[in-house]
Amino acid sequence: MNRLLLTATGLLACVFTAQAMAAPPQALTDSLTVNGESMPVEQVLDTPVQGLWEVHLANGESFYSDASGEHFVVGDIYKNGADGLVNLSEQSRNAQRAARIAEVPDSEQVIFRSDAAPKATIYVFTDTTCPYCQRLHEEVPALNEMGIAVHYLAFPRAGAGSEGARLLSQVWCAPNPAEAMSAAKRGEALDIAPDCDNLVESQYHLGMELGVQGTPAIVMPDGRLVPGYVPAERLAEMLDLNG
């Protein structure tokens, strides 16, 4: 707790009241440079802290800047309210993550769901060679039965040029990707050429952009990133479906 308070205090100490007049986001985007080189700014957002802007780069990194682009702050903003400390930066990351996931068409995902309309949908960055991904996949029928749809995205742990990426490409190239996903996670060899116009590499880069560091990585409907295997019953609790 003391460390969090020191972090919050140090962050607020970096707010420059002399520069509290906020610049328009486009003006700040145009002025952000390092060593004379323009920064790959993708988005500039306002924050609850006057004079401080949230900057998102094209490579997925983010930081805070004053209106002039002269002073940067790297870290999280916390609101100290009646209910304790709330990580506003994490809330922003969640919203950004949910928005990016929503841009991926269903046709580019491998989807498991029941015939009934789902009560909730989770997005899982997966690798067929990952033991904990295989374990989570064994619980997909239970998740579907509880009304949770599972949408898979590809994330080869060893990189876009790895054997894991080739196996995921076979899944995405299959006539029935769902059946191929299940077979691959059972350790069965797939007689499918991985040379279609598949999306494994782009989804791998999307995962890195969203903060995925390993598999499985579960993105909840609100954009929260949950790393690692989570049992079906626990996921239902996290989605508030057991009440």
Catalytic site residue 127?
A: yes
Catalytic site residue 135?
A: no
The active-site residue, picked from 130, 166, 191, 195, is 130
Task: Give the type of residue at 61.
Answer: E
The active-site residue, picked from 66, 76, 97, 133, is 133
The 8-class DSSP code of residue 19 comes to: G
Catalytic site residue 133?
A: yes
Do strands 148-154 and 110-112 pair parallel, antiparallel, or not at all (unpaired)? antiparallel
Contact between 8 and 85 (Cβ < 8 Å): yes
The active-site residue, picked from 76, 97, 127, 173, is 127
Backbone angles phi, psi at 145, to 5 degrees: -65, -30
Tell me which long-range contacts 205-209 makes (C-beta under 8 A, separation of at least 24): 205/160, 206/100, 206/104, 206/153, 207/125, 207/153, 207/155, 208/60, 209/59, 209/60, 209/100
The active-site residue, picked from 66, 93, 97, 157, is 157
Interacting residues of 209 by C-beta distance below 8 A, sequence separation 6+: 59, 60, 100
Catalytic site residue 157?
A: yes
Catalytic annotation, residues: 127, 130, 133, 157
